[in-house]
Structure 1
Amino acid sequence: MTTFKRRLVFVVLLLSLILGLAACLPAPEIPINETPSPTPSTIPSGNTTSAPTDEVHPVEESVGAEASEEIIIVPTLAPTATPGVIYDVVNQVVEATNLYQTRFLNLSVADWINLAISLGLVLLMLTLVSRLIFMVLMKIARRSATPYDEQYLKAIKPFLHWLFSVIILFIATIRLQFLSPVLKQWLGQIYYAAIITLVSICLWKLVDTIRLWYQEKTATLAERSRNEAAFSLGERAMRTLIVLIGLLIIFNRFGINISALWTAIGIGGLAISLAAQDTLANMISGVIILFDQPFRTGDRIEIQELNTWGDVVAIGLRSTRIRTLDNRLVIVPNRSISNNQVVNYTYPDPRYRIQTEFGVAYGSDLRLVRQVITAALKDVDGILPDKPVDVLFMEWGDSEMVLRVRWWIESYVDARRSTDRVNDHIYQALEEAGVEMPFPTMSVELMNRDQEENPSSNERKDDE
């Protein structure tokens, strides 16, 4: 079944429901074209002064009732029951054919003719006007510089068709004079809620289009993953705002006291905030982290006070998930991150300088050592060629001269593997160059107890 057929079935079922309700509910007692006015026959005989009071009293009661109901029910504008030219022509035709008193299913011949006119109006608008409007919108979208306008219209096309259908049904239903005011009021509220719902869905689809635009603007996957947390938070906020505004408009239409609802929400929010202070503190810290962006998803960070470091997997409102090098997932509350120092090894520049130390024997040629190490590290995989390799003489050791080698790599992720490769090349290069790398030694002199007590006797033995 095509979309048009589904909408047509929906229209027929809805009109059938309206007919059933109109047949069950009593028709309006006062004709629309007539204006009731007091006549002498309505005034009781013998009491001429009480007649105005009897006529005005129901009006005062209705006004008082409306004033009291305004506290709970927000007044809505009722459709104006003013017959148009088509109604006048139909009534004249019916009166000319003497079918004015003929009724079927509690409806007159004029009512059936007007119902057929409304149904024809609905079919005409659905088949021609809605398609024409959509074609014009598509032409305007194709002339746009970006493809997102056309994609957005294609995404909301079925909802726009339903929106046009509801609006057309609203116009066609309101013009039916045989419907009671109560039924018209409820149908108007239902149409209003449907229109607000469809508009909210179109705005929801607009957020999806914004996401497509964001994914295209962030060319690389790494850049997209860094901003994904903040964008997801903004996306959820926009969707929540759309739903909240739509519900508030519908509540206001159906007479729900929004002020009292906001008061209840405020009191409940205060109670929740007092009971969940830590959770709220973590959520506030999470929002600050998402928008301040000291680190992003995929960055390698270290929280020194917590002795935690690894790659950021996800940033949530309450906590941040960090995966360590041994594949452990550490969940850190955002409040703890905000209150401690965070070292980011990836952002804004992922390049990282690492170092290693070793010792050479006293008497070694330091110039030769520097040349050998610098030449050996040129071929090491992972060392940035545009950055210098520093060989520094740091201190005098107990049995060696301590040197420090510093070099740059592309990312901190490769730090340990790069250190392993550099140490291996340094050792092989110094071995081939004949540079001695001493290990710590200790000279121990052993003496027996007699020698300690009589050192002079030992000297005499040595003289003999």
Structure 2
Amino acid sequence: MEWGSGLPLPDWAVSFGEAVIVFALAYVIQRLLARLLADRMRKRFDRQSLSRTAMRAIRVGIFAFAVLIVLDSYGFNLADFTLSVAVFSAVVGVILAPIVGSLISGVFLLADQPYEIGDMVEIQDTGQRGFVEDITLRHTKIFTLDNTFIVVPNGTIRERDVINYSAEDARTRQTIDVVVTYESDLDRARKLLVRVARRTDAVIEGGPDIRIGAARYPSEPVVLLEEFGDHGIGLRLRYWIEQPYRLNAIKSSIQTAYEDAIQDEPVAIAYPHSHLVFDDTSGSLTIDRDGIGSSGRAGGERTGDAGTDAATDVETDGGAGGNVDGTTDPVSGGEADPEAGSGTDGTDDSEPSVGS
């Protein structure tokens, strides 16, 4: 090929032009095939994730074929190139192992069908809820209820517990636990809770029983007596909703409405509290005459509430060398004269004795 001036074009320029043309044709072809096969893929596959994966595989195949054509135009030997790719893949296999593992997990994920595009799911260990936006061979994209995207690698999500709220039936059962006092009207408390739940938007009021496997559950709200607790009687409300993305809002509405409904009713919400009772005790302390031991019981008599001071009654028989009024009989331990040993001003008036 020659320029307008008659100069020949370099081989690399010719090859580059051919490569551009090949890639442009590959792009146009994959776009046309996407339009032609999109509807057929949706009809062929019931699951949207499979149809998207099939279309991605077609696009990758077209561009891979274009790359091979371009390499051939540059003079690469495809056999040698294939061998080089195999050797290179073996060398970097350890590095690419996580990516390959994620791709394999994506294949199993598409085959097992734990969730589908459009399903509402919850990652249980993190509590994140959202709608599945896309499923690829490498990751799952979830559009959360907080208006954010989270991208979870398929190798990770297969090892975590995922709750699917839209798998078979959009109806989801929820529970609310309420504890009322033992003094409350139990029958009235249960009726009010059922009535409040039925009047809440998005709560299924009734209808045919809901079947889950071999079990059948009533579709209307039901209140069960759960337990007799330390502080009150536990009631459990079970109700069904059709909007799993409003779990918290519906629960809050029911609890708020129930709190308002019991204001003028013989029903009270129990709360943890303790009532302490102290027994009345009495006793006496007896000191024997020799002052060696004691007999009887030492104790205090409590009167009134637990916070009042205890009064103690002490009985004495006149211990050795000691009287109740604090004076001392130095001779016989009998009745002592207050003025014998000390003066009224606290000084000692006795004469000192002189030893021999």
TM-score normalised over the length of structure 2: 0.60
SS in 2 for 1:431: coil
More strand by share: 2
Can you list the C-alpha shifts for 1:225-267, whole angstroms capped at 9, x where unaligned? x72x443322121122233345557877997532222212222
Specify the alignment match of 2:202 in structure 1. Answer: 382
Q: What fraction of aligned residue pairs are identical, expressed as a percent?
A: 25
Cα distance in 2 between the residues matched to 1:272 and 1:457:
85
Q: 2:23, 2:63 within 8 Å by CA — same for their partners in 1? A: no
Matched, 1:368 2:158: no
Distance in 1 between residues matched to 2:76 and 2:195, nearest whole Å = 81
Contact in 1 for aligned 2:176/2:238 (Cα 8 Å): yes
Structure with the higher fraction of residues in helix conformation: 1
Contact 1:394 1:402 in 2 (8 A): yes
What is the distance in 2 between the residues matched to 1:421 and 1:457? 51
- Give the conservation status (yes or no) of the 8 Å contact 1:282–1:333: yes
2:310 paired with 1:310: no
How far apart, CA to CA, are the structure 1 residues paired with 2:302 and 2:33? 105
What are the equivalent positions in structure 2 for 1:216-295 lying under 5 Å apart? 227=48, 229-245=49-65, 248=68, 257-295=77-115
Counterpart of 1:391, as a letter, is V
Asked if 1:296 is matched to 2:116, the reply is yes
Structure 2 residue identity aligned to 1:413: Y
Q: Displacement of 1:335 after TM fit?
A: 1.3
Counterparts in 2 of 1:363 and 1:270: CA distance versus 1, 3 Å: same
- What displacement does 1:357 show? 1.1
Structure 2 CA distance for aligned equivalents of residues 249 and 310 of structure 1: 46
Q: Sort the Cα spacing of 1:210 and 1:396 in 2 relative to 1 into closer, same or farther, 3 A.
A: same
After TM superposition, give the deviation of residue 416 of structure 1 in Å: 0.5
Is this contact kept in 1: 2:280–2:301, CA < 8 A? Answer: no
Contact map agreement 2:200 2:253 (CA 8 A) in 1: yes
TM-superposed deviation, 1:291: 4.3
Partner of 1:32: none
Query: Residues 22 and 66 of structure 2 are in contact (CA less than 8 Å); yes or no, is this contact kept in structure 1?
Result: no
The letter of the residue matching 1:266 is A
The gaps in structure 2 that reach 5 residues or longer are 9-16, 208-218, 284-296, 304-309, 314-356
Kindly report the root-mean-square deviation, in angstroms, between the aligned alpha carbons of the 2 structures: 4.4
TM-score (norm 1): 0.48
Q: Deviations over 1:395-421 (max 9, x none)?
A: 001231111101011122111110011
Letter in 1 for 2:299: N
Distance 1:290 1:425, change over 3 A: same
Structure 1: which 5+ residue stretches go unaligned? 1-13, 25-189
1:351 Cα offset (Å)? 1.8
Deviations 1:5-61 (A, max 9, x none): xxxxxxxxx9x99xx9xxx9xxxxxxxxxxxxxxxxxxxxxxxxxxxxxxxxxxxxx
**CA distance 1:397–1:198, change in 2 (3 Å):** closer
What is the aligned partner in structure 1 of residue 33 from structure 2? Answer: 206
Aligned partners of 1:331 and 1:288: how far apart in 2? 18
Please tell me whether the aligned partners of residues 230 and 291 of structure 1 are also in contact (alpha carbons under 8 angstroms).
Answer: no
Map 1:140-179 onto structure 2 (within 5 A). Answer: none
Instruction: Find the aligned partners of 2:148 and 2:177 in 1 and give their Cα distance.
Output: 30
- Asked whether the equivalents of residues 140 and 151 of structure 2 are also in contact (C-alpha less than 8 Å), the reply is yes
> 1:448 Cα shift?
11
- Letter in structure 1 aligned against 2:260: Q
Q: Deviations over 1:390-449 (max 9, x none)?
A: 100010012311111010111221111100111122223333443233333322347999
Aligned CA distance change for structure 1 residues 237 and 456 (closer, same or farther; 3 Å): closer
1:454 is aligned to 299
Aligned residue for 1:340, secondary structure, equals: coil
Residues 10-409 of structure 1: pairs in structure 2 closer than 5 A = 201-202=28-29, 204-213=31-40, 227=48, 229-245=49-65, 248=68, 257-304=77-124, 306-311=125-130, 312-327=132-147, 329-362=149-182, 364-385=184-205, 386=207, 387-409=219-241
- CA deviations over 1:127-183 (Å, ceiling 9, x no partner): xxxxxxxxxxxxxxxxxxxxxxxxxxxxxxxxxxxxxxxxxxxxxxxxxxxxxxxxx
Instruction: Quote the residue 1:434 is aligned against.
Output: 266
Opposite residue 33 of structure 2, the aligned amino acid is: L
Count of aligned positions: 270
How big is each residue's C-alpha offset from its partner over 1:349-373, in whole Å with a ceiling of 9 and x where there is no partner? 2221111111223254433333333
